Structure 1
Amino acid sequence: MASQWHSMVSQKLFLARTLLGQLDRPAVQNEEQPPNEAEQALRREAAIQGSIELLLRSRRLLLVMVARLYQKKSEEPTTLAELASLIGSEPNEVNRLRELEQRSGSWWNHLEQLENSQSRPPATRKTVSAENIIAVSADSGPDRSAAALLKTLNAVKHFADDLEEQHSEW
């Protein structure tokens, strides 16, 4: 049963990888007229946001996969806290996920940042003029580059595959 969930996680990750692959190729409407800059930017943003949504969905499905590994057949946790209350805080998977949640730069942390960023409207920015220029550090948000998203995707895939392998040995 858990292997079906592993397949779903893998499917979402594959689709996210496919979307990210679109960023490398120029979109061609027809041979005569290449897409304009605005259309290219729109397609790029759609591919990035779509891949982020698929990554977030795969993380949620990963939590369900862990619950199924512990014979929780009807519950579908949506957060790590829900998973821990469902199967307990002692299992190795919960401890590993908590460690990832706490570690800056981990795939879990990156997905958390992406989810927060994607779930809120962009911050309004003041216009810059000679009178109001102040040197401050601006929060640019999480890294949404294709390379960063692929790194996170590969880490999630590795984690899911590792779980599947560990539990299929039994």
Structure 2
Amino acid sequence: MPKKLLQRYIPKPETLKQHKHLKMFGDLLHNNNLWVLNRKSVPGAFAVGLFTAWIPIPFQMVLAAALAIVFKVNVPVSVALVWITNPLTMPVMFYVAYLLGASLLGVDASHFEFEASWAWIKASLTTIGPSFLLGCAVMAISWAAAGYFILRNMWKYATLMKWQRRKRR
């Protein structure tokens, strides 16, 4: 696995421990398992990050950090993966989640007009809300499982290749 590449781009533990939103976790952040890059922490961190990215709430990074602490996986990787949902990708991702949820519920995914207001959100919770939330849940679980197993197998493959190169020498 490209461990050195990941280490180059993820923030240092000291930086994250001082982050204003992560200070609430206090001494829980001092567990070294939350900061190492190994075959157990990285696939789990991918699962946590990808799962959290599909949860339609603000402050997803704080939720990703909390889940990473609970599951004892790499915090920086979990938090970084939440940024899959960004202002450019979020509308497409959440629309696909809505379409999937509507399909699973057998509901007509009718055309709707989006309006950025609390009144529209409250009114939509009963109409498109169930389809949207079901789609988000299915996508979160699917992406988390896929990310976990893909990373776990990639890590295993990279380790096998490294051992084979050592054998040849």
Between structures 1 and 2, the one with greater helix share: 2
Is the structural similarity TM-score above 0.5?
A: no
